[in-house]
Amino acid sequence: MSWKIGDYLYASSAREAMALLRGGNGRGLLVAGGTDLLQSRPACDFIVDISGAGLDEIIRTPEGGLRLGAGATLQSIATADPVLDYAGGAIAAAAQRCGNRPVRSVATLGGNLCSALPSADMAPVLLALEAEVRCSDGEQEESLPLRAFFTGPRRTVLGERILLSVDLPARHARAVTTSRKLARTAEDISLVHVAVSLTLEGRLLRAARIGLGAVAPLPLRAEQAEAHLAGMSLDEREGPRRLGEAAGLAAQQASPISDHRGSGEYRRAMVAVLCRRLLSELLGMRIVPPPESPAV
Ligand SMILES: Cc1cc2nc3c(=O)[nH]c(=O)nc-3n(C[C@H](O)[C@H](O)[C@H](O)COP(=O)(O)OP(=O)(O)OC[C@H]3O[C@@H](n4cnc5c(N)ncnc54)[C@H](O)[C@@H]3O)c2cc1C
């Protein structure tokens, strides 16, 4: 099917992008890497290209946090030193698992989050690390937690705003963090994606944050599982069982669909399995699954 776009405009700043969007004829669409255009016809009259809008910075903040520009490509996020240094390189590793090298070379972090697919591969680890998103209407800037950003499949709170950056807090710079993507092939989108980030004080698990992707209408935090783990001692007798129960709670919070990639039942079971595996790897403990759970 052929389609026509009125104008293809280039913005040299976020402010200019918003001005072009407002001043254009009909409905405009921001385009960063443009990889979504390869997959579906955009519902717009004109395009505002923001690849030259100066949004690609990746910096360590003076406080020890991390700022990832919305226009940073997934390849640059996978390889930049500040990202490799933050939370054990967990964000870099997640970026490395998105698509293939040609896609990662143009696809941006902002595009990944703003496309708001339940399977967006950058979401789980960023949720687990309590990222904030910074956005602007061209005049005012606002920051909000990433967990409040997604409102449904392909929907976000952005409205007529542009995403400027994703900001990671200094307090999680040393958080013990990892994520795992389960997919049919190395280049396919996620069937299930789980990220776990832990705040440990010696043998005390002060807090656990668990991000889930591809198992609900939007990427989400497994709050019940997190609450079950908060404050537990790694030496307590029932610890291995408690970790297994938390994985089960994460699976219960998922509401996966069935499609050609896998059944909802399989996806839910895999949430528990991946949670147990990641917790076990991070804590170096054998985890006891509840009796009815699938084996790790
Ligand atoms: C072959 C292939 C494989 C893929 N594999 C994966 C995968 O494994 N995992 C995965 O998660 N994704 C995958 N994708 C999807 C896609 O590549 C990613 O989601 C990518 O990060 C999108 O970034 P982009 O810059 O190309 O977005 P674009 O196509 O430029 O934009 C996507 C959407 O985000 C909006 N947008 C972009 N930037 C901003 C901004 N700064 N502010 C506001 N709105 C903005 C656009 O308006 C548009 O609606 C794949 C795509 C292809 C083609």
Q: Tell which one of 20, 36, 185 to mutate to probe ligand 1, the residue whose CB is within 8 A of the most ligand atoms.
A: 36
Helix or strand (DSSP H, E) at 178: strand 176-182
Q: Work out the pLDDT band at 65, boundaries 50, 70, 90.
A: very high
Instruction: Kindly report the protein residue whose alpha carbon is nearest to atom 40 of ligand 1.
Output: 163
Q: Work out the pLDDT band at 296, boundaries 50, 70, 90.
A: very low
Q: Return left, alpha or beta for 128; rule: phi > 0 is left, psi -120 to 50 is alpha, else beta.
A: alpha
Assign 3-class secondary structure to 201-255: ECCEEEEEEEEEECCCCCCEECHHHHHHHCCEECCCCCHHHHHHHHHHHHHHHCC
How confident is the model at residue 258, as a pLDDT? 93
- C-beta pairs of 97-101 under 8 Å, 24+ apart in sequence: 97/121, 97/181, 98/74, 98/122, 99/35, 99/74, 99/187, 100/186, 100/187, 101/75
Q: Work out the pLDDT band at 2, boundaries 50, 70, 90.
A: low
- pLDDT of 40 above 80: no
Determine whether the shortest distance from the Cβ of 121 to ligand 1 is under 6 A. Answer: yes
Q: 175 near 200, Cβ under 8 Å?
A: no
How confident is the model at residue 293, as a pLDDT? 65
66-69 and 58-60 strand pairing: antiparallel
Determine whether the shortest distance from the Cβ of 115 to ligand 1 is under 6 A. Answer: yes
Q: What percent of the chain has pLDDT over 70?
A: 97
Q: 87 near 71, Cβ under 8 Å?
A: no
Determine whether the shortest distance from the Cβ of 34 to ligand 1 is under 6 A. Answer: yes
Determine whether the shortest distance from the Cβ of 48 to ligand 1 is under 6 A. Answer: no
Determine whether the shortest distance from the Cβ of 107 to ligand 1 is under 6 A. Answer: yes
Instruction: Kindly report the protein residue whose alpha carbon is nearest to atom 51 of ligand 1.
Output: 35
Determine whether the shortest distance from the Cβ of 9 to ligand 1 is under 6 A. Answer: no
Determine whether the shortest distance from the Cβ of 112 to ligand 1 is under 6 A. Answer: yes
Instruction: Kindly report the protein residue whose alpha carbon is nearest to atom 47 of ligand 1.
Output: 30
Q: Which three-class secondary structure state does DSSP give residue 166? A: strand
Q: Please give the distance, rounded to the nearest whole angstrom, from the Cα atom of residue 123 to the centre of ligand 1.
A: 12
- pLDDT of 292 above 70: no
